[in-house]
């Protein structure tokens, strides 16, 4: 006779064996469920997939452009494959592969890796999830005004550092060029712009009233995407209107009004240039996307022209603040690096140092 404790079933399995097998079954079911509902490693075939670019959000959906003037509403699904694993699944500006076959709302099967990005989080903190606001932007157009508000190299330098941090290319746009003759500092502005050019940052003189320089700017934007940065009043919205046409810009304003109160995290949008040769990113406040925690000792590397002097600094890890035998300070004394540019560096460094101390103190 079988001992009930061990063999209590007709099929000869012990209760313990049954329990284990049931557990295994549950575990396998769980794994299967997880597999079904989490992003797959790769399953796309290029069969019916269409390449598109995300232009904006619309409620819970995304509006993607598949060809000039051809927009399609789409959405992500649980199995959408990401080329950017530690960041937002999809952002305005992303290039995506969509599947139109299933319903009138297209499905985003794959988000391609981003070339560049504007994020809320610093790139230096790689361990944290990155919220991407806009992707695949080529230029930061640092807009300054030739008259009012006054031209500020300090602001240009900050945005240059920020652009480099996001791997975007900075260009300087001096708008209101029709008013340049009125500005007492016109000579200084011209010198500063020449200096920026000498260290690799191009500039464009534009006027949205006379249209001076607008075509040159359009040429630069050919097949590129730009986001404007600069103080309020320098003419960012005017530039956007002039480049994209009032109509597109107006639609954008209406769209934003319509979205008010809905659960959209952002009203960032890509506006195509009328001839579809490029895009302007419209964002309510670029400043917050450029908040980043740069370590003080990293800032010197973002002042590109310091590099060639720094090898001659006496101290190996010279910060170019008040170290003896500093070749960067010497270049400033010899008017090779302008004082205003060096002052921007010092101001930036002091701020980052203050923040670093606050961070350490706060832990």
281: tokens are 């990113």
Task: Fill in the per-residue mask, 148 to 187: x = in contact with ligand GDP (CB under 6 A), - = not in contact.
Answer: ---------------------------xx-xx--------
Q: Which is nearer to ligand GDP, 236 or 320 (CB)?
A: 236
Reference 242, options 172, 173, 179, 157; nearest CA is 173
Minimal distance, residue 296 CB to Zn ion, in Å? 14
Q: Is 284 in the site for ligand GDP (CB under 6 A)?
A: no
Q: Is 318 in the site for Zn ion (CB under 5 A)?
A: yes
Minimal distance, residue 299 CB to Zn ion, in Å? 13
Question: What is the gyration radius of the CA atoms in the chain, in angstroms?
Answer: 27
Q: How far is CA 62 from the centre of its chain?
A: 18
- Tell me how many residues contact ligand GDP (CB under 6 A): 14
Stated as kind and residue range, the H or E segment containing 247 is: helix 246-259
Sign of dihedral through CA atoms 145, 147, 152, 155?
Answer: negative
Choices 134-142, 181-189, 228-236, 282-290 (CB under 6 A): range interacting with ligand GDP: 228-236
The entry of Zn ion, ligand GDP, none near residue 318 (CB within 5 to 8 angstroms by kind) is Zn ion
- For the chain, the farthest-separated pair of C-alpha atoms sits apart, in whole angstroms, at 111
Q: Which is nearer to ligand GDP, 56 or 176 (CB)?
A: 176
The entry of Zn ion, ligand GDP, none near residue 334 (CB within 5 to 8 angstroms by kind) is none
Q: Which is nearer to Zn ion, 290 or 349 (CB)?
A: 349
How far is residue 358's CA from residue 185's CA, in Å, rounded to a whole number?
37
Q: Where does residue 287 rank: exposed (0-12), middle (13-18), buried (19+ CB within 10 A)? A: middle
Minimal distance, residue 226 CB to ligand GDP, in Å? 14
- For residue 61, what are the contacts with CB-CB under 8 A and spacing of at least 6? 73, 74, 75, 105
What per-residue string of b and e applies to 323-346 under the rule 16 or more CB within 10 Å gives b?
eeebbbbebbeeeebbebbbebbe
DSSP secondary structure, 95-137, as one string: EEEEE-SSSSSEEEEEEPPPS-EEESS-TT-TTS-B-EEEES-
Minimal distance, residue 136 CB to ligand GDP, in Å? 23
Choices 29-37, 48-56, 233-241, 243-251 (CB under 6 A): range interacting with ligand GDP: 233-241
Are β-strands 117-119 and 106-111 bridged in parallel, bridged antiparallel, or unpaired? unpaired
The entry of ligand GDP, Zn ion, none near residue 93 (CB within 5 to 8 angstroms by kind) is none
Minimal distance, residue 360 CB to ligand GDP, in Å? 37
Among the listed residues 54, 97, 142, 234, the single contact to ligand GDP using CB under 6 A: 234
The entry of ligand GDP, Zn ion, none near residue 232 (CB within 5 to 8 angstroms by kind) is ligand GDP
The entry of Zn ion, ligand GDP, none near residue 243 (CB within 5 to 8 angstroms by kind) is none
Among the listed residues 72, 326, 331, 337, the single contact to Zn ion using CB under 5 A: 326
The strand pairing partners of 363, in sequence order, are none
Which residue in the block uniquely carries the two structure tokens 């002091």? 350
Minimal distance, residue 185 CB to ligand GDP, in Å? 17
Q: Is 174 in the site for Zn ion (CB under 5 A)?
A: no
* Binding interface with ligand GDP (CB under 6 A): 175-176, 178-179, 207-209, 232-238
């Amino acid at each position: 006779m079988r001992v009930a404790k061990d063999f209590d079933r007709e099929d000869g399995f012990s209760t313990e064996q049954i329990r284990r097998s049931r557990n295994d079954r549950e575990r396998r079911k769980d794994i299967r469920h997880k597999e079904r509902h989490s992003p797959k490693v790769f399953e796309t075939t290029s069969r019916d997939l269409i390449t598109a670019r995300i232009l904006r959000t619309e409620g819970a959906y995304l509006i993607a452009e598949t060809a000039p003037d051809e927009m399609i509403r789409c959405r992500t699904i649980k199995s959408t494959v990401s080329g950017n694993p530690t960041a937002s699944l999809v952002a305005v500006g992303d290039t995506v592969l969509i599947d139109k076959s299933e319903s009138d709302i297209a499905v985003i099967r794959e988000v391609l890796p981003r070339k560049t990005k504007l994020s809320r989080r610093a790139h230096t903190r790689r361990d944290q999830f990155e919220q991407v606001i806009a992707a695949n932007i080529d230029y930061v157009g640092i807009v300054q005004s030739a008259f009012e508000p006054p031209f500020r190299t300090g602001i240009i330098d900050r945005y240059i550092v920020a652009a480099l941090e996001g791997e975007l290319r900075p260009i300087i746009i001096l708008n209101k060029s029709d008013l340049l003759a009125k500005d007492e500092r016109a000579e200084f502005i011209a010198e500063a712009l020449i200096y920026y050019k000498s260290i690799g940052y191009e500039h464009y003189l534009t006027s949205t009233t006379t249209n001076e320089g607008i075509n040159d700017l359009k040429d630069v934007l050919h097949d590129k995407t730009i986001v404007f940065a600069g103080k309020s009043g320098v003419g960012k919205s005017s530039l956007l209107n002039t480049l994209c046409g009032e109509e597109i810009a107006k639609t954008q304003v209406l769209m934003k009004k319509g979205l008010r109160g809905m659960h959209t995290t952002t009203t960032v949008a890509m506006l195509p240039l009328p001839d579809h040769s490029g895009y302007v990113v419209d964002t309510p406040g670029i400043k917050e996307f450029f908040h980043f925690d740069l370590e003080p000792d990293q800032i010197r590397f973002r002042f590109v022209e310091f590099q060639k002097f720094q090898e001659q600094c006496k101290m190996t890890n010279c910060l170019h603040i008040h170290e003896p035998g500093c070749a960067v300070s010497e270049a400033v004394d010899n008017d090779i690096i302008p004082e205003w540019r060096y002052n921007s560096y010092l101001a930036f460094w002091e701020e980052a140092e203050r923040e670093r101390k606050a961070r350490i103190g706060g832990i």
